[in-house]
Structure 1
Amino acid sequence: MLCRVTCLRAPVSSLSQFYCTSIAGEGVTSRSHLSQDQREGESTTYNTSDGSKSSDDSNSGRHEQSTYSKEEVAKFRSMADSWWDVKGDCRPLHSLNRLRVSLVREGLMQSGAVMTGHIAGPQPLSGLRILDVGCGGGILCEPLARLGATVVGLDAAEENVSVARLHADCDPKVRHKLEYVCGTIEEHAQEAEGMYDAVVASEVLEHVSHPDLFIHTCAHTIKPGGSIFLTTLNKTAVAWVGAVAIAEYTLHLLPPGTHDWNKFIPRQELLFLLEKSGFATRTVHGMLYNPLRNQWCWQSNTAINYAVHAIKET
């Protein structure tokens, strides 16, 4: 994720003065009241991508599988006060919306999910339900809601969810279209089988544990014929040079340690994981970031950043 991680400069409780009035705690799933410590300690059983059962029981002392990474979530919890600073640490993510919003809109149109009467209108995604996994402060959720979609933003950091709710509450045009939930994809999937027309996970895969489980669990929440949209980093030498050596250690666009090259996802491996979970890949695009202009553009080269749209067939 091209976003600088900073130390939290103000408690989340004071952010309401920065955005607007405090919000009502509506629309939270039954698990969202849990504290982060409680979430890390509770036991969850789910299906892995090979069909076997796995238990996430932190108190058992056994090896378990989960997409949740405490260290990765901590990175983004610390930036809760900077999500909506368009000139700050998340500047590249705001700029990335130009590509990823169009990726979702055009992908859903081409898949036939968008109703004919809405295609030419200002809200072509009306009637569609979208899950944004790893939503952070809601940077992508809000523009999708403005296009008419009902959007659920899911994030494992309570601080990020609080900021997203506060910001959405300031805009009466979108707040009724948005719901933010604190939790993991495993927790949410237990209550959301086949609920969504599309799932978006943008700049998230390179920060989760067990990407195969992540893809499989996302698939569980998508209707047959629904879409998944992913943007991530390729596991190539060029990606290490560009996203780690240059971005973090030379240009200081990101603090050292933001990315772990070992968690980058080779393009062919991701396409295999999608096929394994019942998806047919429709589109693969390379993405190029110009830090001097703060601009993203599509390109054929997928060696560093790339985007994928796939359709759930089963």
Structure 2
Amino acid sequence: MSTILNADPAELAKFSELAHRWWDMDSEFRPLHMINPLRLDWIQSLCPIAGLRALDVGCGGGILADSMARKGADVTGIDLSTKALKVAQLHALEAETPRIAYREISAEALAAEAPGSFDVVTCMEMLEHVPDPASVVRACSDLVKPGGWVFFSTLNRNPKSFLFAILGAEYILNLLPRGTHEYAKMIRPSELASYCRQAELDVQQTSGMEYNPLTKRYSMSADTGVNYLFATRKPI
């Protein structure tokens, strides 16, 4: 087995520098706080998570992991950013979040250690930050039980997403720090669908997410041109 870590040191450093701001609702992570209820409700609509074992891959400061635990799931969050995990752990302690644990481990390493251990696996806003996204998709498939759900969200790669997600969000509206996303690392839905098929995950549903700069609100939509989500399932 390869010992090469599927992570970009520059990406880890970038998010580590901002780690202390994960739970500041007015910080660079405000968009994640704004979209979190939408993606959690979408997950819940397909797979009610109360009482299930859930894994959040690339959990960062724990925004999604924490909210899943509060919905009754037994949650493990994993990431390779030491600082972000410390923030997540501290927040869980301060907020007295039940049924949650964090580990500094890659998806691939955990898949080798504990395959088929989770009912639900989430991997949100993470695939566009790693050198080999297909490897993460395979690991997520290995980690989920037969019949279990795996949810992904990422950014499309096309002129519209460059305009909205990079120029608009990072340079004009200042919703995100400049350099958050690299256009070349964005993933077309057709590419993610291919990764899923190769990993024996069946795509059950797709959804888009849009931002309205006038109302300053996000909403789920049928438009997968920029931000999009995949709900996939491991065959029994």
The TM-score bracket by the shorter chain reads: over 0.9
On the 8 A contact 2:118/2:145 being kept in 1, the answer is yes
Gaps of 5+ in 2: none
Contact persistence 1:92–1:294 (CA under 8 A): no
1:145 is matched with: 69
CA distance in 1, matches of 2:154, 2:143: 20
2:227 to 305, 308, 314: 305
2:167 and 2:31 mapped to 1: Cα distance? Answer: 18
Once the two structures are superposed, what CA deviation does each residue of 1:113-166 show, in whole Å capped at 9, x if it has no partner? Answer: xxxxxxxxxxxx332001001111111111111111000010101111111111
**Aligned partner (choices 123, 126, 129) of residue 53 of structure 2:** 129
Q: Residue 101 of structure 1 aligns with which residue?
A: 40
Give how far 1:293 is off. Answer: 3.7
- Secondary structure of 1:193 counterpart: coil
Q: Of the candidates 63, 70, 78, which is equivalent to residue 9 of structure 2?
A: 70
Q: Deviation digits for residues 26-84 of structure 1, max 9, x if unmatched?
A: xxxxxxxxxxxxxxxxxxx2xxxxxxxxx125xxxxxxxx4211111111111111011
In the alignment, residue 227 of structure 1 is paired with which amino acid?
W
TM-score normalized by structure 2?
0.95
Q: Alignment length, in residue pairs? A: 236
Q: Residues 156 and 225 of structure 1: is their aligned pair in 2 closer, same or farther, counting only changes over 3 Å?
A: same
1:60-209 equivalence runs, <5 A: 66-109=5-48, 125-172=49-96, 174-175=97-98, 177-209=99-131
SS of the residue aligned with 1:160? helix
- Tell me, which stretches of 5 or more residues in structure 1 are unaligned? 1-44, 46-54, 58-65, 110-124
Q: Which amino acid aligns with 1:134?
A: G
Query: Distance in 1 between the 2:214 and 2:21 partners?
Result: 20
Moved more, 185-194 or 262-271: 185-194
Q: CA deviation at 1:301?
A: 1.1
Change (3 A) 1:179 1:292: farther
AA in 1 matched with 2:222: S
Query: Any idea what the Cα deviations from partners look like across 1:205-239, whole Å, max 9, x if unmatched?
Result: 11111111110111111101111111110011100
Q: Supply the distance in 2 between the matched residues of 1:263 and 1:278 (Cα, whole angstroms).
A: 23
What is the TM-score with the length of structure 1 in the denominator? 0.72
The one-letter code of the counterpart of 1:83 is: W
What are the within-5 Å matches in structure 2 for residues 185-264 of structure 1? 185-264=107-186
Q: Shift in Å at residue 171 of structure 1?
A: 2.7
SS state at 1:242 partner:
helix
8 Å contact kept, 1:91–1:294: no
What residue in structure 1 maps to residue 3 of structure 2?
56
Q: Counterpart amino acid of 1:92?
A: P
SS of the equivalent of 2:157 reads: coil
